[in-house]
Amino acid sequence: MTLDELRENFAFLDDWMDKYRMIIELGQDLEPLPEEEKVRENKVLGCQSQVWLVCRPSTEREGALHFVADSDAHIVRGLVAIVLMIFDHKTPEEIQAIDARPIFAELGLDQHLSQGRSNGLLAMVKRIQSLASLAA
């Protein structure tokens, strides 16, 4: 699913429980992160749940980055999927230019997530932008 498709689906759903279910379903489609990459160096600090994130060169787009991530919590896996929709297969420069907060607000995540989950989302974004900075 693309970010635009997610926006359309969210606009169609009125009930936040339905949106939560959709977020959880998104997490089920994440690219698997091998167990050997679920190490301390790949953990995203600042998340309530455990989140691991790795960065690789994109095979889909020259000069772009590909992110693979996983979490031990179903809802967080879905939130990871949303973050990856925003940043995956973009160049380091594009990644640095993205402010994800308005996208989260547009989806209503800023109003319907706990403070801890919201902080975790921002920690994922910060980690992705840090990895992009290193790759630049």
Other beta carbons within 10 angstroms of residue 2's beta carbon come to: 8
Q: Which of 23, 26, 44, 47 is catalytic?
A: 47
DSSP 61: S
Q: Is 47 one of the catalytic residues?
A: yes
Catalytic residues: 47
